[in-house]
Amino acid sequence: MVKNIKTDVLIIGAGPAGLTAALYVARAGKKALVLEGRNPSRMAIGYEIENYPGFLSINSQELLNKFLEQARHHGAEILKEDALALALEAQPKYVTTRSAFIEARAVIIATGKPFSKERMIPGEEELTGRGVSYCATCDGPLYRGREVLAYGLSEEAMDEVLELDQMGCKVKLVTGRKVKPEHEPELEKLRARGITVLANYELKAIVGEKRVEKVVVEKDGQQEEIPVSAVFVFREIPSTSLFTKAGLQLDQKQCLLVDRNQKTNLEGVYAAGDVTCGSLQVASAVGEGCVAAMQALAYLRK
């Protein structure tokens, strides 16, 4: 069941920039909703920081927890979801997650440094939004009665495959990595519903001119082509594709372009922290999160 949520400012990312922005927005008496995402801030790794003002030395995880506690104390809400679709050019802004449809008056993007394109499947970026999707709830109904492929082996992937099947999609699953004994019970549930499971196959390419037409899969060095209308990829979301599809401008490093007030090229949309590829320091991320929040609050007053 998808929830409808309204907020004043949606902050995408729960690192130092995002949590600072949430703190400022919430403390100003506005609704602040933070999408934490499945992939934690790099600070969650736990390393010693010796150049953050006020501390001779502090563990990064401990500092991140302080940011989180303070943001929550002032009323910020944290939702452990990834943004899967962005509609940012109009007012209000709309962001879709797996379980929520969020309406916001302003958006601050603080997702951290974008991952390398080399991690993407050939054809994935070019066909995102044209048959490549990351959300069964969002796009599954478009492919009812048609052949689709799902890619992934996480618990989330298993749930999404079942959802696609229940929607009436003719779905095949490519596991993408070696199936372990603990995966077998869930895979058997899929097979019992008549879902084809291509265990230990890799997805090598997504192919199509204007839309997804087929995929290339490989096992033990042998490749084969499978005609499909859509590919649902269930792993870390390639944020750069979401950004460009939403109309946001990126630089040659795939970082979000902002001005000195953290404004992007879209009205009411701001970015802060490593996603802008600035100095990549905790202190500068905090400062940028502060500026982005203050600019978002000024935007709301207009």
Question: What pLDDT digit, counting tens, does each position of 4-58 carry?
Answer: 999 999 999 999 999 999 999 999 999 999 999 877 787 887 788 989 999 999 9
Q: 149 is written with which tokens?
A: 């492929």
Range of the domain at 87: 3-115+238-301
d(CA 228, CA 220): 22
Closest by Cα among 16, 15, 54, 14 to 35: 14
Q: What is the dihedral of CA 235, 101, 292, 289, to 10 degrees?
A: -50
- Are residues 262 and 219 part of one domain? no
- Are residues 275 and 173 part of one domain? no
d(CA 125, CA 55): 42
- Are residues 133 and 107 part of one domain? no
- Are residues 247 and 163 part of one domain? no
- Are residues 290 and 156 part of one domain? no
Compute the half-sphere exposure of residue 226: CA atoms within 13 Å on the CB side of its CA. 27
- Are residues 225 and 153 part of one domain? yes
pLDDT band at 236 (very low <50, low <70, confident <90, very high): low
- Are residues 242 and 111 part of one domain? yes
Percent of the chain with pLDDT strictly greater than 70: 97
- Are residues 79 and 7 part of one domain? yes
List, in sequence order, the alpha helices (H) in the chain.
Answer: 16-27, 60-73, 124-127, 136-139, 155-166, 184-192, 239-245, 282-301
**CATH code for the domain of 286:** 3.50.50.60
- Are residues 189 and 169 part of one domain? yes
pLDDT band at 126 (very low <50, low <70, confident <90, very high): confident
- Are residues 287 and 222 part of one domain? no
Which pLDDT score is estimated for 219? 92
Mean pLDDT in residue range 219-231: 95
Question: Which amino acid is located at 9 in the chain?
Answer: V
Last residue in a domain, options 189, 213, 233: 233
Last residue in a domain, options 202, 217, 233: 233
Domains held by the chain: number? 2
Model's pTM, two decimal places? 0.75
